[in-house]
Amino acid sequence: MTKRNRPWGHQEPRNESTNRTLHPDTLAIRGAMIRTGFGETSEAMFLTSGFTYDSAQQAEASFTEENDHYLYSRFANPTISMFEERLALMEGAESCHATGSGMSAMFASVAALVSQGDRVVASPAMFSSCYVVLTEILPKWGIQVEIIENNEPETWERALSSPAKAVFIETPSNPLLEIVDIAMVAKFAHRAGAQLIVDNVMASPLLQKPLEFGADIVMYSATKHIDGQGRVLGGAVLGTKKYVDEILKPFTRHTGPSLSPFNAWVLTKSLETMSLRVNKMNNSAFEIAQKLEALPGIKKVWYPFLDSHPGNALAKKQMTGGGTTIAIELDRPKAEVFEFLNRLEVIDISNNLGDSRSLITHPASTTHRRLDAATQAKMGITESTLRLSVGLEDPKDLFEDLSLAL
Ligand SMILES: *Cc1c(COP(=O)(O)O)cnc(C)c1O
């Protein structure tokens, strides 16, 4: 064995020359597979922190990038590469960089772009940790962040009439599923010289493709629909090769928010079933949202594909389904809302989402507790608001659980 680095050899993909366009469901199974010489069916898991070289010369050439050789798993690792390349193929993005959590993806996607004095503009409603990064952490380093008041075109136009470096939006938003017009914001963002970053976690890679509507960067918490089975944390940032290689990676290589190869392997296997899972969860969520609207005791139901949702037309323009999450406002005070939660027998009380298990949470006291009352009110969160993440159980059992508890 002369090549100490690759004792197993490396199996080249068959038929690489045919250049066919494959459906994302096919890419989810077959995209970016690296097979070793053992010819394993399932992707190999490279649980290694480092890599070795045949010679000092090869090590030097690898560091100067004359050689294509893995250096260290903080920078890149074959199992993580499979996950990144497969997700990029499915998203239709040039490049992807995976991170250890959704929050490290969000933080790196913005922080890598901005310098002291730069301006960032963001949509009004979002996941509370993203809000903390934008309003407390980045301003400490002299970044000016403006969270706008509402998603009206005039408000966006006004906010982006002066230069900005980045625009951050979450659509649908967590928890009230507010819809932001990606194409409209992209137009104003580009005019202001900004890159548009979309947190696409709530929609999942299956139901919304922000890059097709003019976004520059898409980020995910892979913890949610990508894993979708409540097992591992992970994150990903997707964009042009230039952004990922020249802006994002120089930031993450040294700050180190790396994904573990084990988690990357779990997430790679999860991509194979994501379309089956998210489609079923999306269909169940729509069915349950419609039935909930007719139930006494429920003041309001927010679900993007319901006619009653204020962003319905826009959601139908930029999403292929309303998503897996429903927001509900009960016609009851907090104590009775808690009693309702405690009476549920199938649905778990949990603040995660996008899971195969249906999960329900009270955002005001859990996920969005970190925000003050005025900010919660601005986002439309009250003491009687609940967020339901619809899982893979039979939708009739889920609806019965909700109606019996009411
Ligand atoms: C969960 C979530 C995140 C953060 O992801 P983690 O993997 O928990 O770090 C970011 N944005 C949205 C919309 C989320 O729901």
pLDDT in tens, the chain (406 residues): 233 344 444 555 555 556 788 999 999 999 998 899 999 999 999 999 999 999 999 999 999 988 889 999 999 999 999 999 999 999 999 999 999 999 999 999 999 999 999 999 999 999 989 999 999 999 999 999 999 999 999 999 999 999 999 999 999 998 899 999 999 999 999 999 999 999 999 999 999 999 999 999 999 999 999 999 999 999 999 999 999 999 999 999 999 999 999 999 999 999 999 999 999 999 999 999 999 999 998 999 999 999 999 999 999 999 999 999 999 999 999 999 999 999 999 999 999 999 999 999 999 999 888 888 888 888 789 999 999 999 999 999 999 999 999 9
Residue type, 99: T
CB 176 less than 6 A from any atom of ligand 1? no
- Three-state DSSP class for 29? helix
**Residue 221 CA, ligand 1 centroid: distance in Å:** 5
Query: Architecture of domain 274-405 in CATH?
Result: Alpha-Beta Complex (3.90)
**Residue 108 CA, ligand 1 centroid: distance in Å:** 13
Provide the pLDDT for residue 369. 86
Q: Could you tell me which of 363, 371, 386 has the C-alpha nearest to residue 300? A: 386
Estimate to the nearest angstrom the gap between the alpha carbon of 102 and the chain centroid: 7
Provide the pLDDT for residue 21. 87
Pocket test for ligand 1, best of 99, 101, 103 (most atoms within 8 A of CB): 103
Provide the pLDDT for residue 371. 82
Provide the pLDDT for residue 400. 98
Provide the pLDDT for residue 20. 80
Ramachandran class of 362: left when φ > 0, alpha when ψ lies in -120 to 50, beta otherwise: beta
CB 233 less than 6 A from any atom of ligand 1? yes
Tokens of 378: 């601005």
C-alpha distances out from residue 285 to 115, 140, 288, 301, 327, Å: 41, 40, 5, 12, 11
Estimate to the nearest angstrom the gap between the alpha carbon of 99 and the chain centroid: 11
Separation CA 388–CA 390 (nearest Å): 6
Calculate Rg over the CA atoms of the chain.
22
Phi, psi of 10 (to 5 degrees): -150, 125
Provide the pLDDT for residue 87. 98
Matching residue, tokens 């679900």: 303
Q: Could you tell me which of 355, 379, 292 has the C-alpha nearest to residue 328? A: 292
Q: Could you tell me which of 233, 307, 251 has the C-alpha nearest to residue 97? A: 251
Q: Which residues pair with 166 in a beta bridge?
A: 120, 195
Measured from the Cα of 352, ligand 1's closest atom is 1
Estimate to the nearest angstrom the gap between the alpha carbon of 164 and the chain centroid: 23
**Residue 132 CA, ligand 1 centroid: distance in Å:** 12
Provide the pLDDT for residue 5. 41
Separation CA 282–CA 233 (nearest Å): 22
> Do 211 and 92 meet the contact criterion of CB atoms below 8 Å apart?
yes
Q: Could you tell me which of 173, 150, 110 has the C-alpha nearest to residue 323? A: 173
Separation CA 59–CA 56 (nearest Å): 5
CB 81 less than 6 A from any atom of ligand 1? no
Q: Where in the chain is the domain with CATH 3.90.1150.10?
A: 274-405
**Residue 376 CA, ligand 1 centroid: distance in Å:** 18
Separation CA 21–CA 149 (nearest Å): 42
Please identify, in words, the CATH class of the domain defined by 17-270. alpha beta
Q: Between β-strands 144-147 and 119-122, what pairing exists: parallel, antiparallel or unpaired?
A: parallel
CB 237 less than 6 A from any atom of ligand 1? no
270's CB contacts (< 8 A; 6+ apart) are 226, 227, 228, 229
| Residues making up the chain, counted from first to last | 406
Provide the pLDDT for residue 29. 94
Estimate to the nearest angstrom the gap between the alpha carbon of 34 and the chain centroid: 25
Provide the pLDDT for residue 244. 98
Provide the pLDDT for residue 325. 98
**Residue 19 CA, ligand 1 centroid: distance in Å:** 35
**Residue 361 CA, ligand 1 centroid: distance in Å:** 15
Separation CA 142–CA 134 (nearest Å): 11
Provide the pLDDT for residue 10. 55
Cis bond before residue 172 (omega within 30° of 0) = yes
**Residue 194 CA, ligand 1 centroid: distance in Å:** 23
20's CB contacts (< 8 A; 6+ apart) are none
CB 173 less than 6 A from any atom of ligand 1? no
Phi, psi of 122 (to 5 degrees): -135, 155
Provide the pLDDT for residue 67. 84
> Given CA atoms 350, 356, 357, 362 in this order, what sign does their dihedral have?
positive
Phi, psi of 2 (to 5 degrees): -85, -35
- Three-state DSSP class for 218? strand
Provide the pLDDT for residue 13. 57
Tokens of 234: 């992970």
> Do 267 and 233 meet the contact criterion of CB atoms below 8 Å apart?
no
Provide the pLDDT for residue 18. 64
Matching residue, tokens 């949702």: 309
Q: Where in the chain is the domain with CATH 3.40.640.10?
A: 17-270
CB 324 less than 6 A from any atom of ligand 1? no
Q: What is the 8-class DSSP label of residue 360?
A: E
Provide the pLDDT for residue 379. 79
Cis bond before residue 257 (omega within 30° of 0) = no
Separation CA 45–CA 77 (nearest Å): 10
**Other beta carbons within 10 Å of 213:** 18
Q: Which alpha helices (DSSP H) does 294-333 contain, by range?
A: 312-318
Tokens of 223: 């913890």
